[in-house]
Structure 1
Amino acid sequence: MRDDTPANPLLEPSPLPFSLPPFALLRDEHYPEAFDLGMAQHRAEVEAIATDPETPTFENTLVALERSGALLSRTSLAFFGTSSSLATAAVQAIEQDYAPKLAAHGDVVRLDPRLYARIKAVHDDEDALAALDAESRRLVERHLTEMTVAGAGLGEDDKVRLRELNEQLATLGTHFEKQLLADTNDLAVLVDDVSELDGLTAGEISAAAQAAREQGHDGSWLITLVLPTGHPHLASLTNRDLRRRLHDAQSARGNRGNADDTKALVLQIVRLRAERARLLGYPTHAAAALADSTARSPERVLGLLDRLAPAAARNIEAERALLEAEAGHPVEAHDWAFWSERVRATRYAVDLAEMRPYFEAERVLQDGIFRAAELLYGLTFSERDDLVGYHPDVRVFEVHDTDGTAFGLYLLDLYTRDTKKGGAWMNSLVHENSLLGQPHAVVMNNLNVPKPGPGEPTLLTYDETRTFFHEFGHALHGLLARVTYPHFAGTRVFRDFVEYPSQVNEMWMLWPEVLSSYAVHHETGERLPQELVDRLVAAQAWGEGFATGEYLAAALLDQAWHAVSVEEAAGVTDVEAFEAAALEKVGLANPLVPPRYRSTYFAHTFSYAYDAQYYAYIWSEVLDADTVAWFRENGGLTRENGDRYRRHVVGVGGAADPLESYREFRGADADVRHLLERRGLD
């Protein structure tokens, strides 16, 4: 009988340009087969390295390890690069099945005592180590450190328990993600009277109508939810009752006592993380998570956060007084964004909604984001209609370097949909590195912009535009890094450093030669008036009390959950009570300014690998604010400045110590005063 089963395209390197995964041929059933074969091949390769009778050397141990696992890496990048963007029931089932298997497989490598001994032997051979180039020496150091922190030095009995904990935590993380997505979709706010949507743009109303039709609610409007507590529509909706409904829906996720309630998962995850930390020799999960970071310890993190929290709390109170004077009544949490925009309009003559017609998505992309990359780095972008992504909404662009040579691919998935998880992010689909002969990176950005109806323009909010620039900063980091070893590719840097280049890229959003290029009225062709820009710049400090407060509340909440010992974790039985006490302790228990993420939908810390490291954004912002000051002091957006920044920061990947690289770029350590000034906390 003839076998009509199509070949699995993952089992061989992609034949497409830049090794783009062959999404047109990929089917869900291909992933389990490729994962199974990939893990088996990788285990065999690691076994051969571990049992090599030759004396351990850099080539037969470290380089061999870097070359291993090609099929598994190819499959993981394709699957996890798209699983959050296309989280169908089938994809979620694969993720739930394979998350613990992949965690267990990772432990096979990280905890292998024979492999650990070989790497340590290479590390301890001082003469041989000194003969290596700097990136190769760093590879030895990083593998040894990462295996040590992971528990490679533990006894066998402890390793058995460690493997169990890692598998359980991987499973719980996928459950958290799945339940949060289901509850987020279920809590979308249905509106039957279009007059309640007063304040939204025609495009936003069109998007709500389209979302309702897709859910079988013809003639109604559906407001889909976003990941942070504050929904963008809260700044525009004039209907106070609808603002309350929307805010309540955003805040209720994972906390309704239904099948998708996440509170039990939160408690399980915290307890298991505390147990794992103790097993690894750390008093808390925060101490374990930060041992291998630029911060090094929870105490240093709290030193920064605690310094900022009192000033943020004071600024919140000052802002509240102005809001209530403008509103003429006490404000509640669902009122804050609305009246904040009114104060901005009254005090600074700036209405962010007034800017929406100037932020048409295609102009933002082509004449803003791409233009800044060209001015700074010499990169250009051309769309490849012949290459397809994993969904019809995905666009593919070829990236060219300053001399016109091909540089990589950039994929963009702009619009929200029910199978896409909330938030905005960057993923790598192919890692650039010279060792494996992969000269080009393939990266992608995801946003969650409501998709308007046919014929309607996609108009971005001010915050969505800034987020677009931010996420593209991650994409540039992935594209520009040039490394020898895949271990250091792109954004494979410390978690509390990875946000720094992306935050720097936000600077170009309002840079004159960039803004004047893309901020054009989509109907009249008029450029954004300079006087409005000037007022916007003058008003930038407005609202920083709220913005800093909601962020710090989440960052400190993340630290609090992971500062508990095994005994303390066992005693926590009420998620809401723990959260309230943690926020009260740091002076940020303000019902008007809830945390950017509450515990029950804090995906960053309970499923997105930012556990005990959500502080990374503001930690990185110290570097970011200092870098912005450097650019301003040195002539701004120029190729000379871009080349320097590329050479010392975004072009390095993880191949050098990030803070040393920063000092080479800046000539000094970052000065925190620039951050304090930016956020009005000085």
Structure 2
Amino acid sequence: MSDYAASPVLADSGLPYDLPDFARISDDDFLPAYDLALPAHLAEVAAIANDPEPPTFANTIGALEASGRLLARANGIFFNLEGADSNPQRAQIAQELAVRLTEHHAAIAMNPALFARIEEVFARRDELALSEPQRRLTERKYRDAVRAGAALDEAGQAEMRAIAARLATLTTEFSQKLLDDTNASAVQVIDVADLDGLSAGEIAAARRAAEQAGVDGHLIALELPTSQSSVAKLTVPTVRTRVFQASIDRCARGNEHDTRAMILEIVGLRARRAQLLGYANHAEFVIAEETAPDPAAVADLLRDLGTAAMAASERELARLTQRHGAALRPEDVTFALAAEQRATADAPGAAAAGGVDEFEQYCELDAVLNDGVFAAAGALYGLAFTERPDLHGYHPDVRVWEVSDADGAGIGLFVGDFFARPSKRGGAWMNTVVDQSTQLETRPIVVNVLNLTKPEAGEPCLLSLDQLVTAFHEFGHAVHGLLSAVEFVSQSGTSVPRDFVEFPSQVNEMWALHPDVVTRYARHAETGAPAPAALLDAVRAAGDVDSAHSTIEYLAAAALDLAWHRLGVDEVPADVLAFEAQALADAGLASPLIPPRYRSSYFNHIFGGGYSSAYYSYIWSEILDAETEQWFLKSGGLQRELGLAFADAVLSRGDSVDPVAAHAGLLGQPATIEPLLRRRGLVAATE
């Protein structure tokens, strides 16, 4: 038996779609697997670099693309686990791998013989009769090598390696510190009366959290963003304030989880790396690979939207102050806006139906999945989802579905990990365990991770409106991966520019409350009665209540990201919080009552994840999304022919074509910003 076959991580599992056999894999298996996979990849690369034949697309670019399958296998398993179900050993492994993987990829990128071959194919790309995917892959491999330092001199390459290794350590540690401080910042409440406003299920979850932590009373766990869903519900002002303060103080409390010194080091290192490669700053370095033309264009968009949103927020805050008094604090604004949502009753009879809060009773998880999320994908794309209880995920709560196309052929697996736990980082995301590729003959295994409150045994899991929309959003990413039909794995599914990747998932949000979808799943969790039409109308109307507030929260975070990463090497400040305040003021987005969605100290997207200089991508993608929503609605809505056209033009193509050009081809014109402004209620403010 080969060493690979003996590794539970690397061996063929024998399961459908080569789903990993998680039951056989222990944490002790990971480092030995990497000890095999990393040298194997280097040997494959060496064979390509030292090939005596002249470089061609097939023997250089194509061969490089097909290499490293054992490493991809290990990464697909470990990094899914590390984000969704961490523990001390996995955290330690992640720290070690952060450096090892960075050095590994640097060694490949800076292999002079390999780069010479890549450079030759790149230089001859016009005469090689390459297909569009082949040409795009060739250009990508060349740019990736250059951006990793392949064209630098020996001293420059040595410095690039050191920077990359240090950044890998820091960003991994940032995420781990944030998880630890988020758990440590949970708010203890002794008197259950102080939890008034929370549902019975949320109170029960807070009680379980306290029991697990070995403390009295209840623990209100924190969510990833600044705004907390509990703050929107808690009727006791002092408890709201405690939760809000715990949220905004995370990782800036002067304890062992404080991230501020790390932030300054990360920003300085990124600026120096950009400088080495000939860019003015990290934002220029990142956005050079995105669909946005440059950082100035991004800043202009944020400024224009910010001006409109701030004007709208002044009217919104004036209304709230008049209604609730002049002493409003940020947490009170969150509560007051949520109260307005709950009170919205534009349609006759909505109040009698129980108000917007009552809508949760009609959003039971399994009904939302089967009769909402999956049903919409079936209507649009012909997909069918069959739960496979014989297939097991990496945690007892994880569920697996087999996905089939309209002809009944299996195309991949969908893995759902829905419930919050202390070992899972906050937020919601999509990952892949296996990416689709016809070259490699692989079919996708995609994962959706949410952080829903796990109900008591025998009780239903009910989704709030925000959680409902999030479920549809993340499934949009999943569909992007499942419907991928490309040759090359690095062009598969969501492997598109960062400021395009959110577009398909944002489009999928439109089906959450669409009349042809919501009536399928919105049944009362206890009685099975369908949701009253008046209630559904009220829920749709309530969705626009906090538009200005939520827009400013987002724009402020995007402006912070851009401000940090437009700094040059000599411009890194000494005080994180002072810089943050000045950056928001300079962007025209400083509001004492509306803090950014993420403050710098817990902005994991940019200091722990892959969104540095790209947090703007959500709003950039939303321009395409708003236009596409109008295209769907004007053309007939939930129609198979529309879904298939969207899948053929965008979802199936990944990065094998220019995604923005593909979108413009679908709509017959480039997207414009007007539909987005109308959606967010900002048109009047810009006219």
Pairwise TM-score range, normalised by the shorter structure: over 0.9
The CA deviation at 1:138 is 1.7
> Is the 1:383–1:397 Cα contact (8 Å) retained in structure 2?
yes
Give CA deviations for 1:514-562 in whole Å, capped at 9, x if unaligned: 1001111111222222122223333433211101000000000000000
Give CA deviations for 1:415-469 in whole Å, capped at 9, x if unaligned: 111110011000000111011121x200001111111222222111110110111
> Is the 1:648–1:661 Cα contact (8 Å) retained in structure 2?
yes
SS across alignment from 2:366 = helix
1:288 to 265, 285, 298: 285
Matched residue, 1:505: 508
Q: Does 1:494 align with 2:497?
A: yes
SS across alignment from 2:371 = helix
Partners in 1 of 2:5 and 2:144 — Cα distance? 40
> Is the 1:100–1:171 Cα contact (8 Å) retained in structure 2?
yes
The CA deviation at 1:635 is 0.4
Matched residue, 2:136: 138
Letter in 2 for 1:18: Y
Q: Quick one: structure 1 residues 35 and 535, their matched pair in 2 at CA, closer, same or farther if it must change by over 3 Å?
A: same
Bigger mean CA offset, 411-420 vs 44-53: 44-53
1:327 to 320, 324, 327: 324
Deviating 4+ runs (over 3 angstroms):
344-352
> Is the 2:356–2:535 Cα contact (8 Å) retained in structure 1?
no
The CA deviation at 1:6 is 11
Matched residue, 1:584: 585
SS across alignment from 1:232 = coil
SS across alignment from 1:407 = strand
Q: Quick one: structure 1 residues 91 and 345, their matched pair in 2 at CA, closer, same or farther if it must change by over 3 Å?
A: closer
Give CA deviations for 1:239-278 in whole Å, capped at 9, x if unaligned: 1111001101111110100011111111110111111110
1:233 to 225, 230, 252: 230
Partners in 2 of 1:344 and 1:210 — Cα distance? 29
Matched residue, 1:181: 179
Partners in 1 of 2:61 and 2:14 — Cα distance? 28
The CA deviation at 1:7 is 3.5
Give CA deviations for 1:600-635 in whole Å, capped at 9, x if unaligned: 000000011100100010000000000001001100
Matched residue, 1:49: 48
Give CA deviations for 1:77-113 in whole Å, capped at 9, x if unaligned: 1111221001100100000111011011111122223
Matched residue, 1:454: 457
Matched residue, 1:402: 406
1:304 to 301, 306, 310: 301
Partners in 2 of 1:324 and 1:16 — Cα distance? 60
Partners in 1 of 2:288 and 2:362 — Cα distance? 45
Matched residue, 1:364: 368
Instruction: Describe how 1:65-80 pairs up with structure 2 within 5 A.
Output: 65-80=64-79
Partners in 2 of 1:551 and 1:11 — Cα distance? 41
Gaps of 5+ in 2: none
Matched residue, 1:152: 150
Matched residue, 2:663: 662
Aligned residues with identical type, % of pairs: 47
> Is the 2:359–2:539 Cα contact (8 Å) retained in structure 1?
no
Partners in 2 of 1:652 and 1:411 — Cα distance? 22
Letter in 2 for 1:337: T
The CA deviation at 1:29 is 1.3
> Is the 1:263–1:600 Cα contact (8 Å) retained in structure 2?
yes
2:549 to 518, 523, 546: 546
Matched residue, 1:644: 645
Letter in 2 for 1:456: E
> Is the 1:341–1:352 Cα contact (8 Å) retained in structure 2?
no
Partners in 1 of 2:291 and 2:269 — Cα distance? 25
Give CA deviations for 1:476-502 in whole Å, capped at 9, x if unaligned: 111111111111111111111100000
Q: Does 1:444 align with 2:442?
A: no
The CA deviation at 1:346 is 4.5
Query: TM-score by structure 1 length?
Result: 0.97
Partners in 2 of 1:202 and 1:104 — Cα distance? 50
Partners in 2 of 1:342 and 1:412 — Cα distance? 32
1:279 to 263, 267, 276: 276
Partners in 1 of 2:175 and 2:541 — Cα distance? 40
After superposition, the CA RMSD in angstroms is 1.5
Partners in 2 of 1:323 and 1:353 — Cα distance? 20
Partners in 2 of 1:534 and 1:80 — Cα distance? 41
SS across alignment from 2:128 = helix
The CA deviation at 1:318 is 1.0
Matched residue, 1:90: 89
The CA deviation at 1:347 is 5.5
1:211 to 203, 209, 212: 209
Letter in 2 for 1:144: Y
Matched residue, 1:519: 522
Matched residue, 2:160: 162
The CA deviation at 1:116 is 2.0
SS across alignment from 2:82 = coil
Q: Quick one: structure 1 residues 520 and 88, their matched pair in 2 at CA, closer, same or farther if it must change by over 3 Å?
A: same
> Is the 1:555–1:615 Cα contact (8 Å) retained in structure 2?
yes
> Is the 2:398–2:418 Cα contact (8 Å) retained in structure 1?
yes
SS across alignment from 2:9 = helix
Letter in 2 for 1:475: A
Partners in 2 of 1:68 and 1:345 — Cα distance? 54
Bigger mean CA offset, 345-354 vs 573-582: 345-354
> Is the 1:376–1:641 Cα contact (8 Å) retained in structure 2?
yes
The CA deviation at 1:348 is 4.4
> Is the 1:210–1:453 Cα contact (8 Å) retained in structure 2?
no
Letter in 2 for 1:150: A
Letter in 1 for 2:22: F
> Is the 1:626–1:674 Cα contact (8 Å) retained in structure 2?
yes
Partners in 1 of 2:13 and 2:65 — Cα distance? 20
Partners in 1 of 2:70 and 2:542 — Cα distance? 51
> Is the 2:356–2:542 Cα contact (8 Å) retained in structure 1?
no
Partners in 2 of 1:297 and 1:127 — Cα distance? 27
Letter in 2 for 1:333: P
Give CA deviations for 1:148-172 in whole Å, capped at 9, x if unaligned: 2332211121011001000000000
The CA deviation at 1:13 is 2.9
Give CA deviations for 1:164-204 in whole Å, capped at 9, x if unaligned: 00000000011111111110000101111111111111111
Partners in 2 of 1:186 and 1:149 — Cα distance? 39
The CA deviation at 1:470 is 0.4
> Is the 1:111–1:151 Cα contact (8 Å) retained in structure 2?
yes
Matched residue, 2:559: 556
Matched residue, 1:623: 624
SS across alignment from 1:436 = coil
Partners in 1 of 2:478 and 2:220 — Cα distance? 29
- Count of equivalent residues: 673
Bigger mean CA offset, 453-462 vs 514-523: 453-462
The CA deviation at 1:20 is 0.7
Bigger mean CA offset, 527-536 vs 502-511: 527-536
The CA deviation at 1:223 is 1.0
Matched residue, 1:635: 636
Q: Does 1:531 align with 2:531?
A: no
Partners in 2 of 1:630 and 1:150 — Cα distance? 40
Matched residue, 2:597: 596
> Is the 1:210–1:452 Cα contact (8 Å) retained in structure 2?
no
Matched residue, 1:392: 396
> Is the 1:326–1:339 Cα contact (8 Å) retained in structure 2?
no
2:219 to 218, 222, 232: 222
> Is the 1:407–1:441 Cα contact (8 Å) retained in structure 2?
yes
Bigger mean CA offset, 550-559 vs 135-144: 135-144
> Is the 1:322–1:343 Cα contact (8 Å) retained in structure 2?
no
